[in-house]
Structure 1
Amino acid sequence: MCKHAGMRTEITAYYQRGLEAARLQATPWGRLEFLRTWDLLTRTLPEAPADVLDVGGGAGIYAGPLAFSGYRVQLVDPMAEHVAQAALLPGVTATVGDARRLDLADASVDAVLLLGPLYHLTERADRLAAWREAARVVRPGGVVMAATISRFASLLDGFVKGYVSDARFAGMLETTLPTGAHQPPEGTPWFTTAYFHHPDELPGEVAEAGLELDRIAFVEGPLWIMGDRVADWIDDEERLRWLRRIETEPSLLGSSSHLMTICRRRSAS
């Protein structure tokens, strides 16, 4: 296995900046992403103790709290730097690996998290390979939870932060909006090479992997575009509970920065 498990050079360089460990606590909208993702995890995962495989889990931002909550957590990430950080977390086993070729036995875990890989696999065949590997290693009846970035995230982010006035950003959007391919020009500060899903694509990917779709939920919903104003209510649990009421509303899915697709491996008959 190579050091970065086949990742594209520009993606590796982006994560070698070392910002991933603190990313979800550095800004109000990052904390909104974390809190909403954690809420979806805790409402969906089987009760602890259970075996959870965190594929593309980065430095362990979710693996650590899951282990603290009593789960047996294995983390796999293509970045050796992330794996070294995650391995320091109590209760977390971390190894370098590739979401498309997992070094685990069939039906060996109770739940699989794909919270990072799918938006960095720019070819559909590679995304399907990651889905299929998750389906292979999860036990019958087990859950697979996958995060994707919304097709419209860069456009909305560009409005909030003023990027749309930059001709380079506008040119990038001309490709991203119709195709999902996010390719920032070299030397720009924007998010690295990625694929941004249209919500309507996800059921097809799940079905082709042989999984059964449970639901697609937004993570942040439309409120992330409030920017720093999110800080005014981010720790208000009552307001966050209201988001649960509408998290699967189809007409709102594309307005979220991230989506969570929740599916299961068919139970043995």
Structure 2
Amino acid sequence: MSLIPPAHLEIKGVCVRVGAQSLVHEISLDVPPGSFVGLLGPNGAGKSTLLRTIYRARCPDAGQVLLDGVDPWTRPARWGAQCVGAVLQDMPADFPLSVRDVIAMGRAPHQSAYAAENAHDRAQIDAAMALLELGPYADRLFATLSGGERQRVLLGRALVQQPRLLVLDEPTNHLDLRHQVAFLTLVRQIGVTVIAALHDLTLAAMVCDRLALMDQGRIVAEGVPDDVLTPKRIAQVYGLETVIQRHPTRGTLVILPA
């Protein structure tokens, strides 16, 4: 399926506050076009809050999010929906929509009001379903799918938006090990710019070009996996002693509890 060239994401001094509490504090991060950057950190570190400022769910209280030099918050919501696709942790499923209907929703930002699907829309939807092996599920109700199957459908919905940036918020929570690897490997192969909040450190080290480790609303380490995931730093952030080994065939980091 056709995708628009990947975007350059820049996060500059972003702060998010609720009352006197800072959920995200002066975060700056550069995500080059076509790269896969993972956000790591314990629960409550601010990962999801930071991601919300990127896909226009929460305006930052200070700082900027720039997509190819443009602040999405200065443009209409439709512009943001055309540029940024998001796959979140959970989505309500109590609605009578088929798998194909849910994926087709991703075409809405590119359609005029009340417009019917055209040939290009259908081609994008069919291509996404083929890529994600969802053809046999086309007429199944979304509500009847397993958690892992729903995540694949939601990825399909994001892909037919033809985004330049894909935001993933803990997208593998409902997936078994095989489908975790398959999901993230597929996302990586698509070629779009990706920023993803992940919990599995070993999986993040395997699929991400760079990592940003967050703690208490700040980035405490950023760089390639080998530089970020050290026993000392993991102990400081997660409060867990670990042993780090190398995958016997991939050579990537494997993080184990001590």
- Please tell me the TM-score bracket, short chain as reference: 0.3 to 0.5
Higher RCO (CA < 8 A, seq sep 6+): 2
* TM-score calculated relative to the size of structure 1: 0.35
* TM-score calculated relative to the size of structure 2: 0.36
Choose between structure 1 and 2: higher helix proportion: 1
Choose between structure 1 and 2: higher strand proportion: 2
